[in-house]
Amino acid sequence: MSLPLDLIADLRLSDLAAEPLWPSALVAGAAHYADADSRIMRSPIDAAILGHFVPATAGLANHAVEAAHGAFLKWRCVPAPLRGELVRCIGNKIRLRKTALARLITLEAGKICSEAEGEVQECIDICDFAVGLARQLHGLTIASERPKHRMMEQWQPLGAVGIITSFNFPMAVWAWNAMLGLVCGDAVVWKPSEKAPLCAIALQRLVEEAIDEMNDTIPAHVCQLILGEHEAGERIASHPLLPLISATGSSRMGRVVAQTVAARLGRVLLELGGNNALIVTPSANLDMALQAIVFAAVGTAGQRCTTLRRLIVHESLIDQFAERLVQGFDNVPIGHPSDDGVLLGPLIDADAYWAMQQALQAAEQQGGQRLTGGQRVEQGVPLNGFYVRPALIRVAGNLDIVREETFAPILYLMPYAELDDAIELNNAVSQGLSSAIFTDSVREAEAFLGPAGSDCGIANVNIGTSGAEIGAAFGGEKDTGGGREAGSDAWKNYMRRTTNTINYGSELTLAQGVRFTL
């Protein structure tokens, strides 16, 4: 497979397969710092070579971070509305290239076209949100106990922010962090997944275009891109000039990042694993629930952090609902993600396939019953890609393997008798990202959303676990890391708070009535 010519023209990604690729945002002469060996980029669709990239060395990574820090020292003094103008320009460029960017996501991450277009739309939406936010970075005025004193809070730019993203949302997660960081006055250093560097390069080049068009109002190097594998992420996490590291990935990766950053007393914003559950009650609209469940379990080939992995169905419904689910899973169209009507594309690589097979084997050894799916599909799909049928496994409860997150389309089906039992099953895993309930009972819905209900960062009623909007804060609890990105007040992660007290009187008055007179 080769890159489509119109995509190359739109994104200026020429000769990718012919030579190692450097992101042009890095400093001039970057090849001086480069290792001689390059990494192959392959498409999950058919394992075709898309090109090569050279991982950044320690010297290059350090140079990029230092350049970003230097840019921050200037960028922090630029008025926030003008910072918003850069984000507006970036958003417009993404909007104009939406189709080409979506095709690149499909090519490099294997997403079906509608999901890829949805991810690019998410980038556009967060740009629009951030532009408005540039005029709303407000603090508080606080009553003082002292006469002729005023207290207030301000939010100030934090620094250069390190962003580590995963392959499954190769553009949107960067946008959540980078666009908010930019309007907050931060510089950005991005280390994308080594499985999706082309998406990162494309976005970086659009950012460069936007910076160039704004002439001298934007400091050079305010957005940096570092390509590499886990070593590059470790260099970012340990760098003292990056006060915040936003990392998206597995809980295992997040623990390593958190410990590294904590050792230098930096901040982390973690978006890690999800082991998401959905409860179906006797009053639920089963047709609507079925549609939501299949998308949440199968979308992105089960490779979302919000993918539905555990389905908790009332014991009076479970047998009939299992039959409908089997039929739904078996009828999901599988194939090339660019083909019309296909809903399930490939897993990202062979490692993901074998992890799925090991999980299925463990589930059966632990007493689970496979109702359907799990096999590799080799007919009617591109050769060399890892296409699978979504698997449905009936279990008695949270088996050991069920408590683990397997990044693949496996759905574990389990019964419950009372709502309290279902909520306990929902909460009885270490991850706490997304959850949902289907019910027409106000009492059940409110119990699920209440303080004794779901312990996840996202709790939905009558919708699935995936497909969050950018207007609200996104993130979860427990092993999910506690981070919040995107909307609401997530912008505060990217700033530092200062408390100010102003004495406009002619006497010095101490707080708490303390007297200290010389």
List, by residue number, the catalytic residues.
271, 305
CA 292 → CA 12, 180, 202, 281, 285, distances in Å?
A: 38, 30, 32, 14, 11
Q: For the beta carbon of residue 316, count every other beta carbon within 10 angstroms.
A: 12
DSSP 8-state code for residue 512: G
* 247 closest CA partner among 177, 294, 315: 177
* 229 closest CA partner among 208, 205, 249, 258: 249
Give the Cα separation of 16 and 471 in Å (integer).
36
Give the Cα separation of 171 and 117 in Å (integer).
11
Contact 225, 190 (CB under 8 A): yes
How many CA atoms does the CB half-sphere of 17 hold within 13 Å?
A: 10
Contact 308, 342 (CB under 8 A): no
CA 506 → CA 148, 243, 408, 517, 518, distances in Å?
A: 9, 39, 68, 15, 17
- Segments of 395-463 assigned E as strands: 410-416, 431-432, 434-438, 458-461
- Segments of 116-254 assigned E as strands: 141-142, 149-157, 160-164, 187-191, 223-225, 244-248
Phi, psi of 310 (to 5 degrees): -130, 125
